[in-house]
């Protein structure tokens, strides 16, 4: 990490509090950031620091390092807003919201009232057989070969199959959809993000118009019946929700899978522990969510306030960094140790009213992937000669990892 005074620093930010962090550089680094960069952040930074590169295009914002402060902000919908935090619509000069992700109370509760029944645990559990079938099909494609390109052949495709099935979108366009998603979530400039947003918007609006004219037995067609304030959702709301499912379903679980399987390949004793005790997988997934949380999202300060002696002004971005929170040594006992029986809470799937809409599906996807992979594939390791690289940015992930087994 280094002090960076070249970027614009707001007048209320002390110059000696402005810092550039490798964690948000949006590049590939050779070491696991959860094991090196994040512990260094906890060891060297105070509870609040202005980070000049915390958002894409080198927009600065506040990084909080303590779980208790992050939880307090997640509970405070009055002083910290989510509205427009991702700048997806703004990147193309529009003002629609990603629903429910970018909405605040009281509208947020009404959107969730319509959405929660469809994503309830029982509904998601009914998808278990489909998940197992999808996982088995992918694994069968490489298990006899003795090696695989894990991201390309499994972790990218597995969760996306499920989301495309849900939305009734064509599986054969998966490669194109993935490219759009990468432009939106894994680039360094707003121009690249805008390009991806426009492509996704054009495609989803075309699909929504088609379902209005020709309703089908799929999720998009069901959204037309959702209500808020006694009226049906309008076209911007329907699109905003489809956009949320599209980018969320195509990325977060993929990132988690890459992080988890890279860890298991690097630490064969931990892999062996799960193989010998598959009953530990459910709790292990929760520990993986804590230890390898990939996503940093944001709140926007709605008014002037003070935190730990530092003035925060309206419009300031405040990071909700789940990777940093999940390694907080003041909150977790020995956070660097991966314990498959740890029962402490995490915020990797949200907190309070903003719990992730797809959290039950995400858990089930990770549990199923681990169960099927460990059952069908012998003990695996990083392929000989392959060097793992880790992408650091607002979504920590492993862009590529090659596995092999005997």
State the pLDDT confidence band at 201, using cuts at 50, 70 and 90.
very high
- Write out the DSSP string of 191-231: HHHHHHHHHHHHHHHHHHHHHHHS--SSHHHHHTT-EETTE
Quick check: 169 pLDDT over 70?
yes
Tokens representing 305 are 């306030």
Which of 132-146, 159-173, 218-232, 318-332 is least confident? Answer: 159-173
Which pLDDT score is estimated for 182? 85
Question: Could you report the per-residue pLDDT of 126-138, keeping only the tens digit for each?
Answer: 989 999 999 999 9
CB 19 within 8 A of CB 54: no
CB 2 within 8 A of CB 20: yes
Mean pLDDT of the 51-69 span: 91
Tokens representing 20 are 């550039």
How far is Cα 397 from Cα 122, in angstroms, rounded to an integer? 30
Residue 1: inside a domain: no
- Structurally, how many domains does the chain consist of? 1
Integer angstrom CA distances of residue 200 from 73, 86, 175, 181, 354: 31, 15, 13, 8, 24
Q: Are strands 305-307 and 310-312 parallel, antiparallel or unpaired?
A: antiparallel
Which pLDDT score is estimated for 7? 54
Burial class of residue 210 in the structure, from the number of CB atoms within 10 Å of its CB (0-12 exposed, 13-18 middle, 19+ buried): middle
Mean pLDDT of the 328-342 span: 96
Mean pLDDT of the 15-26 span: 91
How far is Cα 381 from Cα 403, in angstroms, rounded to an integer? 6
Residue 329: inside a domain: yes
Residue 4: inside a domain: no
Question: Could you report the per-residue pLDDT of 260-283, keeping only the tens digit for each?
Answer: 999 999 999 999 999 999 999 999
Residue 344: inside a domain: yes
**Strand ranges (E), 30-124:** 48-55, 59-64, 80-81
Integer angstrom CA distances of residue 293 from 84, 255, 397: 23, 9, 9
Burial class of residue 305 in the structure, from the number of CB atoms within 10 Å of its CB (0-12 exposed, 13-18 middle, 19+ buried): middle
Which pLDDT score is estimated for 80? 94
Which pLDDT score is estimated for 2? 47
Mean pLDDT of the 371-400 span: 97
How far is Cα 257 from Cα 400, in angstroms, rounded to an integer? 11
Which pLDDT score is estimated for 4? 46
Residue 3: inside a domain: no
Integer angstrom CA distances of residue 152 from 12, 143, 160, 360: 45, 14, 12, 24
Q: What is the CATH number of the domain that holds 137?
A: 1.10.630.10
Structural domain including 363 reads 15-405
Residue 296: inside a domain: yes
State the pLDDT confidence band at 3, using cuts at 50, 70 and 90.
very low
Which pLDDT score is estimated for 16? 83
Q: Which of 3-17, 152-166, 198-212 is the most confident on average? A: 198-212
Question: Could you report the per-residue pLDDT of 146-165, keeping only the tens digit for each?
Answer: 999 999 999 999 988 888 88
CB 361 within 8 A of CB 124: yes
The count of residues in the chain is: 406
How far is Cα 337 from Cα 198, in angstroms, rounded to an integer? 42
Residue 2: inside a domain: no
How far is Cα 393 from Cα 255, in angstroms, rounded to an integer? 12
Q: How open is the CA angle 36-41-45, to the nearest 5 degrees?
A: 160
Which pLDDT score is estimated for 5? 46
Residue 300: inside a domain: yes
Residues 6+ apart with CB under 8 A from 345: none
SS3 355: coil
Tokens representing 32 are 């696991």
CB 156 within 8 A of CB 254: yes
């Amino acid at each position: 990490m280094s002090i960076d005074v070249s970027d614009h620093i707001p007048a209320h930010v002390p110059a000696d509090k402005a810092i550039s962090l490798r964690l948000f550089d949006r590049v590939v680094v050779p070491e696991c950031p959860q094991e090196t960069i994040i512990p260094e952040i906890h060891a060297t930074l105070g509870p609040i620091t202005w980070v000049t590169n915390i958002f894409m295009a080198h927009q600065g914002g506040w990084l909080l390092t303590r779980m208790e402060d992050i939880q307090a902000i997640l509970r405070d919908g009055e002083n910290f807003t989510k509205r427009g935090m991702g700048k997806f619509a703004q990147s193309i000069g529009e003002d629609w919201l990603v629903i429910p992700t970018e909405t605040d109370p009281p509208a947020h509760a009404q959107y969730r009232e319509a959405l929660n029944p469809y994503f309830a645990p029982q509904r998601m559990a009914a998808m278990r057989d489909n998940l197992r079938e999808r996982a088995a099909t992918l694994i069968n494609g490489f298990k006899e070969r003795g090696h695989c390109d894990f991201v390309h052949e499994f972790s990218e495709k597995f969760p996306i199959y499920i989301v495309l099935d849900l939305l009734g979108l064509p599986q054969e366009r998966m490669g194109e959809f993935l490219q759009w998603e990468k432009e939106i979530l894994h680039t360094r400039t707003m121009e690249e993000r805008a390009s991806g947003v426009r492509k996704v918007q054009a495609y989803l609006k075309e699909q929504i118009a088609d379902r209005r004219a020709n309703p089908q037995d799929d999720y998009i067609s069901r959204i037309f019946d959702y209500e808020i304030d006694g009226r049906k959702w309008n076209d911007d709301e329907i699109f905003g929700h489809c956009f949320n499912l599209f980018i969320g379903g195509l990325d977060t679980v993929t990132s988690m899978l890459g992080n988890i399987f890279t860890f298991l390949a690097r630490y064969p004793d931990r892999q062996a522990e799960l193989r010998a005790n598959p009953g530990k997988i459910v709790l292990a997934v929760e520990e993986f969510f804590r230890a390898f949380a990939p996503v940093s999202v944001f709140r926007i300060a709605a008014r002037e306030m003070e935190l730990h002696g530092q003035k925060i002004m309206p419009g300031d971005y405040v990071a909700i960094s789940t990777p940093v929170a999940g390694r907080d040594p003041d909150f977790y006992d020995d956070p660097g140790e991966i314990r498959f029986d740890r029962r402490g809470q995490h915020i990797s799937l949200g907190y309070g009213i903003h719990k992730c809409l797809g959290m039950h599906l995400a858990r089930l996807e990770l549990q199923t992937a681990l169960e099927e992979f460990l059952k069908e594939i012998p003990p695996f390791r990083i392929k000989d000669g392959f060097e793992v690289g880790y992408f650091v940015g607002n979504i920590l992930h492993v862009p590529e990892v090659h596995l092999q087994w005997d």
